[in-house]
Amino acid sequence: MNPGGIPSGRHAPIPKFNPRSIASMLLRLFSLTRSNWRLLIAAVISMTAVSLLEFVIPQLTRYVIDHVIPADNYAALPWVAGGILGAALLLGLFGYIGSTAMASVGQKAIYELRNMLYRHLQTLDMSFYDRNRTGDLMSRVTSDVNMLQQLVSSSMIQLFTDIFTFTAVAIYMLWIDWQLTLMLLATFPIMIYTTRRFSTRIRSSFRTVQQSVADVSDHLQDTLSGIRLIKSFSTEDYESDRFADRSRVNMEANLKTVRLRAIYEPTIDFINFLGLAIVLVLGAWQVMSGRLTIGSVVAFMAYLRLLQNPVRHFSRILNTVQQSAAAYERVVDILETKPEVADRDGASQLPPIQGRVVYQDVDFGYTGHPDVLHQLNLEMGPGQVTALVGSSGSGKTTIAHLLTRFYDVRSGSVSIDGFDVRDVTVQSLRQQIGLVSQDIMLFNGTIRDNIRYGRQDATEEETIAASAAANAHGFITAFPDGYDAEIGERGVKLSGGQKQRISIARALLKNPRLIILDEATAALDTESEHLIQEALNRLLQGRTCLVIAHRLSTIRHADQIVVLEEGRILERGTHDELLKANGRYARLYELQFPQHNPIEQEAGDG
Ligand SMILES: Nc1ncnc2c1ncn2[C@@H]1O[C@H](COP(=O)(O)OP(=O)(O)OP(=O)(O)O)[C@@H](O)[C@H]1O
């Protein structure tokens, strides 16, 4: 399940075929291209011209059969040929203008939609990303949007032309022979009924198809980015089997839709042939009894095709519309998700801070994990280093998340220099906080791009100075491309220690007043450790710092050490004070440094 996430196809009810919701989908898509109204007008005019020309050609046939042939009018024949060819040329020309104009309107709409979607995804908060799977979100931005692209760029032109042609032809036929036309039109309700019966089922299976594409893409994203894990556990076969299972769901869902279409299309064809039989039999009857000319029956046959084509196309377009409606719902699900963490109305800019942080009576929990922090009170002075220690899952990282507003407190408050973090803009808050995390986030690109990520306007001198302070300049310049060296996806071409120093350089360049340091658990070799520790000391200098500590050796000089257990503060003080208190911290310290017995040391100190 996906508790609280945007609904995924398997669990969401399948909405019924609803012309109003489809109309609103189209309106919304086309309203994205309001600025292209000239193109839209060109498309509509061309499509109208196409319909009119299609209407004129059978009239020429009728004229030849009823008037030219009986009168042996040889002189009219070149004109007839010219008329048909001229109409065909114009048909091609208007068809070309209509398709290209409509395609550019459609493509522009999709361009806007995809960007809008991506921009919206960027505004959504961490809890949204906790609830939703990356691969699923990726498939919404890619394959679902592609589906809509197909709808607006190719199917819409067909639909508009068809509706126009259908109306014009039906009116003309009623005027010429209303009885025959009514008999013909009587087959249409059967067709519409069949279409409606099939549409719900087709739509539901398309939704399964889309969802299975999302599952495949989710699995791909997960396993390809975790390929090291797979290799280290030799689970290639296991993952291949899991992938095959997901692909199979996709294949079966696709086959189901194909089967449905395979029944649907011949059914529609049968109804079309019924129409042909009606025109042929009743038309012949009328000709024999002298009420209709042969030319009119021939024209009727041509118009029958024009009348049936829209309905036959409609079944194909219906597929696209159904798929698009399912895709559109998945896109709208995201667009309509409101971030829980967002700027409040009238939120002010956080002015440059001193760095006094106060957590007051903070309660917090995650979705599905409601009790993480309880009545937490914590104060950090400007320029002070506060270290959080405690067993795994005690809430250390969570405390840091509340400061950056990755999540908002349930009750109580977090403030910086007296400003509640919820009252200032998220951007102005995060600009003044640096995050150096144990799982180092680097993007594919050059070393320079990564160091400048938090301050893209930094000069070359500033970048080099930050790298030098982070003990990174040396190894960077040893690369043949120096700062222009590509680091690979997530920095795979760098060692663990190099990645850490790049991330410290990045934080130094951003130069925030507040630093959150999520300490590495992994031990590095002594030299690398020394270089990193030195870089970190420079980073922490003169800044308020919250250290999520895993190794107690590095926090001995912290201004205050806070010991957490199950989201509550158990004790706090300096290293020496806590050792003297001989409580939880002393126990943890003893565990990490068994050779060091705090009680003995205390006796020795005394
Ligand atoms: N995004 C999340 N959604 C739901 N529960 C979460 C989430 N993140 C953390 N938790 C839960 O909240 C509790 C506190 O987690 P937190 O990451 O703050 O612990 P920690 O003290 O930093 O642990 P560690 O030392 O192992 O990193 C844990 O029980 C964890 O399972």
- Bridge partners of 360, per DSSP, are 413
SS3 431: coil
Distance CA 510, CA 506 (A): 6
Residue in the block written with tokens 């998700």: 337
Does the pLDDT value for residue 523 go beyond 80? no
Atom of ligand 1 at shortest range from CA of 366: 4
Which residue, judged by its Cα, is nearest atom 1 of ligand 1?
A: 130
Number of residues that make up the chain? 606
Q: Is residue 453 part of a domain?
A: yes
Last residue of a domain, one of 457, 492, 511: 511
6 — pLDDT class (breaks 50, 70, 90): low
Q: What is the pTM of this model?
A: 0.74
Q: Is the CB of 83 under 6 A from ligand 1?
A: no
Q: Is the CB of 4 under 6 A from ligand 1?
A: no
Q: Is the CB of 372 under 6 A from ligand 1?
A: yes
Last residue of a domain, one of 300, 335, 370: 335
pLDDT in tens, 438-473: 777 888 888 998 899 888 888 999 999 999 988 889
Does the pLDDT value for residue 597 go beyond 60? no
Q: Is residue 587 part of a domain?
A: no
The confidence score (pLDDT) of residue 180 equals: 83
- Give the tokens for residue 468: 């030098």
Query: What's 450's domain CATH number?
Result: 3.40.50.300
The confidence score (pLDDT) of residue 315 equals: 63
Residues 312 and 167 in one domain: yes
9 — pLDDT class (breaks 50, 70, 90): very low
Q: Is residue 253 part of a domain?
A: yes
Residues 318 and 449 in one domain: no
Last residue of a domain, one of 478, 495, 511: 511
The confidence score (pLDDT) of residue 120 equals: 93
Task: Please tell me the least confidently modeled range out of 64-68, 117-121, 152-156.
Answer: 152-156
Does the pLDDT value for residue 2 go beyond 50? no
Which residue, judged by its Cα, is nearest atom 24 of ligand 1?
A: 392
Q: Is the CB of 392 under 6 A from ligand 1?
A: yes
Q: Please count the structural domains in the chain.
A: 2
pLDDT in tens, 568-587: 999 999 988 998 988 888 88
Neighbours of 133 (CB within 10 A): 19
Residues 98 and 219 in one domain: yes
Percent helix, strand and coil across the chain, each to the nearest 5: 65, 10, 25
99 — pLDDT class (breaks 50, 70, 90): confident
Does the pLDDT value for residue 427 go beyond 50? yes
Does the pLDDT value for residue 291 go beyond 70? yes
Q: Is residue 246 part of a domain?
A: yes
CA of 15 to the centre of ligand 1 (A): 37
Query: What's 108's domain CATH number?
Result: 1.20.1560.10
CA of 374 to the centre of ligand 1 (A): 14
Distance CA 582, CA 584 (A): 7
Q: Is residue 245 part of a domain?
A: yes
Does the pLDDT value for residue 603 go beyond 50? no
pLDDT in tens, 390-400: 888 889 999 99
Residues 43 and 182 in one domain: yes
Residues 452 and 329 in one domain: no
- pLDDT exceeding 70 applies to what percent of the chain? 92
Q: Is residue 530 part of a domain?
A: no
pLDDT in tens, 72-95: 999 999 999 999 999 999 999 998
Residue in the block written with tokens 């961490």: 126
Does the pLDDT value for residue 602 go beyond 50? no
Residues 31 and 165 in one domain: yes
23 — pLDDT class (breaks 50, 70, 90): confident
Does the pLDDT value for residue 245 go beyond 60? yes
Domain carrying residue 460: 441-511
Q: Is residue 330 part of a domain?
A: yes
Does the pLDDT value for residue 598 go beyond 60? no
Distance CA 519, CA 37 (A): 56
Which residue, judged by its Cα, is nearest atom 18 of ligand 1?
A: 395
Task: Please tell me the least confidently modeled range out of 106-120, 269-283, 312-326, 476-490.
Answer: 312-326
Q: Is residue 242 part of a domain?
A: yes
